[in-house]
Amino acid sequence: MKVLGIVVEYNPFHNGHLYHLERAKEKVNPDFTVAVMSGNFTQRGEPTIVDKYARAEIALSLGIDIVFELPFVYATQDAGGFAFGAIGILHRSGVVTDIVFGSESSDEEFLKAIAGILHEQPWRYQEILHIKLKQGLSFPNARKEALFEYVKEKKILDPERVRNIEKSNDILGIEYVKSILRYGSKVRFHTIKRVGAEYNDGSFKGKLSSATAIRRMIKEDNFEKAKEALPEKSSEILEREFKAGRGPVFWSDLDRLFLYRFRLMDRDDFKRIYGFVEGLDKRFYEFSKKAKNIQEFIEMVKAKRFTYSRLRRMMLYVLFEVTKEFMEDVNAYGPQYIRVLGFTEKGRELLGFMKKKVSIPIITTPSMYEKFLQDEELQINEELYKKMFLYDIKASDIYSILYPSENNREGNNDFKRKILMI
Amino acid sequence: MKVLGIVVEYNPFHNGHLYHLERAKEKVNPDFTVAVMSGNFTQRGEPTIVDKYARAEIALSLGIDIVFELPFVYATQDAGGFAFGAIGILHRSGVVTDIVFGSESSDEEFLKAIAGILHEQPWRYQEILHIKLKQGLSFPNARKEALFEYVKEKKILDPERVRNIEKSNDILGIEYVKSILRYGSKVRFHTIKRVGAEYNDGSFKGKLSSATAIRRMIKEDNFEKAKEALPEKSSEILEREFKAGRGPVFWSDLDRLFLYRFRLMDRDDFKRIYGFVEGLDKRFYEFSKKAKNIQEFIEMVKAKRFTYSRLRRMMLYVLFEVTKEFMEDVNAYGPQYIRVLGFTEKGRELLGFMKKKVSIPIITTPSMYEKFLQDEELQINEELYKKMFLYDIKASDIYSILYPSENNREGNNDFKRKILMI
């Protein structure tokens, strides 16, 4: 039995996603296809344009058999943490045999070699990395330079190619492979070339536009135009959500919440938050008072060594009080449960297999989440399990406040919404 | 030299306030008149309709010589804490000789007698109070019943009158007198009869309407009508503020901030917050998720033993993370500084006298607040001083987020605005 697993945000599901899904299926020829999908907040540190239920529904309508939720604490991390969470879910599901992801280079051997070095951390590589860090390079740059020199010295790969790993999908691809190695997972991985717009290309390109461009089009109140880039089912469900006042939700909707949260904090409070390195606490503390909105704030905080995505993620960590201490455990143990957002008729069958294979809870009914703690056969860190899961609940409860229509702003959606069956 | 001190919110300054001020001056015939005024948040647990700078400006235009800011931590407390802070400022100014406040009964001897019992806590009174509390009465009710029985037993006052101390101005009056006793202050106090609408009467009564009614009229977009109840200078400055996008600000503007804050918290987090008694943590925790806005929330939390004002105050304590531990010090030591919001030409002279008389810092330039810590002659609790003052700064920084026009939402206003001189 072959089960294909993919990692997605579907924010929103567009033609490029459909194309990717079809190519992946051609490559693997699976019996089932599952996706692990970010919940209500993304790797770019933004709330999703519509909530996880609507996005899961679209995914199930367009060829995915089961949608798992990537826990908030992984969905909002950089490539390393994001991949560690996503691969963790697919691996720990116990049924996924093949993983496919997009890649610019699409050279599996190359990705594997690099991921191998990063995973095994040979002594000589560590030595060079140490020197680079001492020279004052940021960690990502020191790592790149150390890899470059290491492969050059060992003559195992083309060093110039190493220097060119810049495109986000290749960085992510390496992290996926590294995570596979880290879990000691037997899943096979495959890459496919991306088509259409770049991940971060914000300009609208018609049929094959990026999610960023589509969201921008919707923000500019041009949903009709955005539809060109969306499969019909995706357009239909998005439109239904917008009409019901459950979207579209944008980063700017968090404006006053961010300002409130930042201005409440003392400078030292920032230091406890995940991701805060030297000096950023001061910048957040001071600029949150100098700025009149969060767009202005982020422009003030921005420095060459921080990408916008990283800053937005850090802003989320502050909003949700995500501490360094907690994230150490998150990134040491991996996902402690598999939340199922929905499944198709066909997916139900796979879910049956899964339940016999897993060693972590499969949560289909969130209100039952505490019951699992009585099952002594499960291999989980109980405290981490609870805390990680409650972050998903909080993310939903706070996301609800952003719905355009006040009538939808009640919380507890995770406990009230029935699991999707299509 | 006679200096009249009064305690005000001026939210906004209306005809009744002007009448009260004129009667008070007639009574005392002072050389100077000063007011201690709530900052950007009130005893009802609400943000003020326009900020403290605009309200101080109105006060200075209409007969007050110096406006002091009542620190946030006192301005948002019940009658006891509010009075302890306000009297503390007037007493510690070192220059106030006479205090005048409104009263329903207007019987100074009666207020003095009651305040005396509450301050001295005679043994027999404590004994009855203890019994009443054991019978399950709430503290305010137990206190009232104990007072009733005590004065009946001792035959010192008409017990039925004690039972009728319900009107908010008499309760506040007793607390003012009690605070005067507690500080061992030599200021004289006088009462004057209130005119016009009751404090809590929300219906608009024309020229002599309550502040509540006036705010409601403004909220209903009927500022023209509201003007009937306002002195011209008050109308003029309010209108200028509204046109500049610095008001009107309403409690409902805190809606999403409250929901965000409450939904972020775990149930136990509420227990650390000032004012949370048995069971309220559960109600806040659960209902913040069940409600779709704060109006619905407060209706759900409301129970007979909690007034709306008390609940709104508690909501503010959560929003500002005001802890029980901190408030113990606040209510033990009293105000640690006197913040001057503005003064008239005449007030400047008085400020000169004051500076020679006080034993706590007089803050006219907030950015200098740390300098006072070097002055060894001041009698303050340094840690409390800093923390109390920073709450006023935070209150301003968070209030700024509520300004209707985004252009006004920068923080640091306390450091940027010059002191008012009229």
CA distance B209 to chain A (A): 33
Same domain, A98 and A17: yes
Same domain, A96 and A12: yes
CA distance A397 to chain B (A): 7
- Count: domains in chain B: 4
Interface of A with B (CB under 8 A): 256-257, 259-261, 263-264, 266, 288-293, 319-321, 390, 394, 397-398, 401, 406-412
Which candidate in A249, A287, A292 is best for mutational testing of the B interface (most B CBs within 10 A)? Answer: A292
- The SS3 assignment for A38 reads strand
Q: What is the DSSP letter of A71?
A: P
pLDDT digit string (tens) for B71-100? 999 999 999 999 999 999 999 999 999 999
CA distance B241 to A387: 46
State mean pLDDT over B402-421: 94
Please tell me which residue of chain B has the smallest CA distance to A407: B292
CA distance B412 to chain A (A): 6
Instruction: Please report whether residue B190 resides in a domain.
Output: no
Q: Torsion-angle region of residue A35: left (phi > 0), alpha (psi -120 to 50) or beta?
A: beta
Q: Do B397 and A263 touch (CB under 8 A)?
A: yes
Instruction: Please report whether residue B161 resides in a domain.
Output: yes
Q: What is the pLDDT of residue B385?
A: 96
Sign for the pseudo-dihedral over CA of B312, B317, B323, B328? negative
Q: What is the pLDDT of residue B158?
A: 84
Same domain, B397 and B335: yes
Q: Do B259 and A409 touch (CB under 8 A)?
A: yes
Report the DSSP beta bridge partners of residue B103: B193
Size of interface A-B (CB pairs under 8 A): 77
Same domain, A336 and A408: yes
Please tell me which residue of chain B has the smallest CA distance to A411: B289
Instruction: Please report whether residue B187 resides in a domain.
Output: no
**Residues contacting B267, CB < 8 A, separation 6+:** B281, B282, B285
Lowest-confidence pick of A123-132, B107-116, B166-175, B384-393 = B166-175
Tokens (6 digits) for A214: 């589509």
Same domain, A238 and A360: yes
Same domain, A80 and A147: no
Task: Tell whether omega for the bond before B122 is within 30 degrees of 0, i.e. cis.
Answer: no
Q: What is the pLDDT of residue B196?
A: 59
CA distance A37 to A59: 9
Helix or strand holding residue B67 (H, E): strand B66-70
The chain-wide mean pLDDT, for chain B, equals 93
Q: What is the pLDDT of residue B32?
A: 98
Instruction: Please report whether residue B32 resides in a domain.
Output: yes
Same domain, A202 and A59: no
Same domain, A274 and A413: no
**Residues contacting A130, CB < 8 A, separation 6+:** none
CA B31 to chain centre: 25
CA distance A146 to A156: 14
From residue A169, alpha-carbon distances to A46, A79, A293 in Å are 19, 9, 31
Beta-sheet strands, E only, within B133-269: 188-193
Instruction: Please report whether residue A20 resides in a domain.
Output: yes
Q: What is the pLDDT of residue A200?
A: 60
Helix or strand holding residue A54 (H, E): helix A52-61
Three-class SS string for B155-217? CCCCHHHHHCCCCHHHHHHHHHHHHHHHHCCCCEEEEEECCCCCCCCCCCCHHHCCHHHHHHH
Instruction: Please report whether residue B359 resides in a domain.
Output: yes
Instruction: Please report whether residue A154 resides in a domain.
Output: yes
Place of tokens 């109308």: B235
**Residue-range definition of the domain harbouring residue A281:** 251-329
Tokens (6 digits) for B415: 């450091």
CA distance B253 to B48: 11
Same domain, B275 and B320: yes
Q: What is the pLDDT of residue A304?
A: 77
> Taking Cα atoms as reference points, which of B71, B69, B76 lies closest to residue B44?
B76
Task: Tell whether omega for the bond before A248 is within 30 degrees of 0, i.e. cis.
Answer: yes
Same domain, A161 and A297: no
Higher pLDDT, B262 or A193: B262
Last residue within a domain, chosen from B301, B328, B355: B328
State mean pLDDT over B97-122: 89
For residue B320, the chain A residues in CB contact (below 8 A) are 264
CA distance B394 to B384: 15
Same domain, B357 and B411: yes
Q: What is the pLDDT of residue A167?
A: 67
CA distance A255 to chain B (A): 9
For residue A293, the chain B residues in CB contact (below 8 A) are 406, 409
Q: Do B409 and A259 touch (CB under 8 A)?
A: yes
For residue B407, the chain A residues in CB contact (below 8 A) are 292
Higher pLDDT, A379 or B198: A379
Largest CA distance in chain B: 63
pLDDT digit string (tens) for B203-257? 888 899 999 999 999 999 999 999 999 999 999 999 999 999 999 999 999 999 9
What is the rounded radius of gyration, in angstroms, for the C-alpha atoms of chain A?
21
CA distance A116 to A122: 10
Instruction: Please report whether residue A153 resides in a domain.
Output: yes
Report the DSSP beta bridge partners of residue B4: B33, B98
Query: From the first residue on, what is the mean pLDDT of each consecutive set of 10 residues in chain A (422 residues)?
Result: 97 96 96 98 97 98 98 96 98 96 83 92 94 85 89 86 75 93 95 69 85 95 95 98 98 97 95 91 96 97 87 97 97 97 96 91 93 86 95 98 97 93 89
Same domain, B297 and B381: no
Q: Do B82 and B75 form a contact (C-beta atoms < 8 A)?
A: yes
